[in-house]
Structure 1
Amino acid sequence: MPGESIGNLINRFREAQTEGRRRAAAEYAFVIAQRLRNDHRLEEASAYARKCIQILETLPSETLEDVISEHQAIGGIAMPDYFHAGTARARLEALLRP
């Protein structure tokens, strides 16, 4: 949903984590990081960027089926065609710097 609030996205992230839906949790963390960055909330954005990468590093990424995005956009943020730790790291690079 393009107009979805950051608070609602955070709730969806937490729900996905609780339910063990790691890929969905990584997608929400990715979107939240970018939305927070756009809102100039850089410290929070950095925390979600790191959560995204941490989750993605635990997921399989050997085949196209493992990494192909199921969504074109979430919360108004375009998703990469192939969603894995490498593409997320490239998109979130500025937020991952110490």
Structure 2
Amino acid sequence: MSYKDKKVLPIGSVSELTGLSLRKIRYYEERGLILPERSGGGTRKFSFTDVEKLMDIANQIEDGMQTFEIKKIYKKEKQKDKDKIRDEMIRGQLNAAFKMTK
């Protein structure tokens, strides 16, 4: 796991880094656009990847997109990533199978 993916930043720091209000960050979480982890005490913990994603969301909102549209885009991207991983696994299995028959 990359340091960028570790969920260690509290919401206050994320707000400072992004310029977004705490309310906006919580709203994006409610809409399912960002998924912070929760500590044992319930504190939200974000990663640097989350910070980048929040900046992307803010830019898209500024460009006139709605949160449901952004969520749709992220779902498509996530599915593409899953499909790519599946394809790579299948390709690897086929390569392994053909090497075994030699």
Measured against the shorter chain, the TM-score band is under 0.3
Q: Please, what TM-score do these two structures have when normalized by structure 1?
A: 0.25
Q: Please, what TM-score do these two structures have when normalized by structure 2?
A: 0.25
Structure with the largest fraction of helix = 2
